[in-house]
Structure 1
């Protein structure tokens, strides 16, 4: 996949970035980094839409609504799922990732997850710097994956549209 084919696929793509409102100081690092990287790769800023939901658990339903609308070419979900010591995070993270995969398979719209469960997340000053940087990196990686996936789908769509010689 060339950079040019990724850029061409992004030029007309409409992308939703859903972010959870828990720990927005960290989550918005991924959201903003993904949006910036998508623009650097050729996405039009007006075609990148940000949607907020209360928490990570609400991301799959919103992703389904956006993907099923037929108005979005890709969806990225961003959240911090905190390990609070009661194993709740394991159920939530599994539900979120499974839900996002289901949305992707049910709608045919690529869905990307930056819903992360940092080990022993503590919002201390020292660790916040680490988590901010980590979420920037993960947002950029999600944007890169989004661009590459949209280009791959465009290439396969073109292949499928080709006439097959008899």
Structure 2
């Protein structure tokens, strides 16, 4: 077995977090969770660059730019798309999901998807530090695990 759950020394490498400003009451909490999780496992804050973008649809483009710079070991994407009364939700979430997946494959860079997709604001709040935990922290740890595996292979 190549990977058994342990992280490599995270004092190596640089990481980026791309965060949507739209729904900032949620995304700021996701970012706090991500940064706290990275700190908890020994990633110094100097090794994490945070890049704010206007909305979720801008996340793939900025993620691609960061990946192409080859300065980052891995990238976390964070956002919150909350369903409204229109079809806009479906367009946004499909676009950002496909975009982030494409960037990860095209650029061969470990990237994790931390975009909340919820029906209500309350559901988003629960996933950003409420009863359901903080998905920002969870995806940050997933990125570190993915980077560890990626480096071993």
Equivalent pair of 1:17/1:49 in contact (CA under 8 Å): yes
Equivalent pair of 1:7/1:43 in contact (CA under 8 Å): no
Of 146, 149, 154, 2:146 maps to 149
Whether 2:133 is the aligned partner of 1:132: answer no
Partner of 2:19: 19
Partners of 1:61 and 1:128 in 2: CA distance: 24
Which range moves more in the overlay, 142-151 or 56-65?
142-151
The runs of 4+ residues in structure 1 deviating greater than 4 Å are: none
Q: Which structure has the highest strand share of the two?
A: 2
Partners of 1:102 and 1:75 in 2: CA distance: 14
Bigger radius of gyration, 1 or 2?
1
Partners of 1:31 and 1:75 in 2: CA distance: 13
**Cα gap change, 1:14 to 1:88, in 2 (>3 Å):** same
Equivalent runs, 1:1-166 vs 2, <5 Å? 1-2=3-4, 5-8=6-9, 10-121=10-121, 130-134=126-130, 137-156=134-153
Equivalent pair of 2:33/2:129 in contact (CA under 8 Å): no
Deviation at 1:7, TM superposition (A): 3.9
Partners of 2:85 and 2:53 in 1: CA distance: 24
How many residues are treated as equivalent by the alignment? 150
Deviation string, structure 1 residues 1-22 (Cα, Å, up to 9, x no partner) = 356x5141x2212111111111
Q: Secondary structure at the match of 2:16?
A: strand
Equivalent pair of 2:116/2:124 in contact (CA under 8 Å): no
Q: What RMSD over aligned residues (CA atoms) do the two structures have, in Å?
A: 1.9
Partners of 1:71 and 1:128 in 2: CA distance: 31
Partners of 2:62 and 2:124 in 1: CA distance: 28
Q: Which runs of 5+ in 1 are unaligned?
A: 157-166
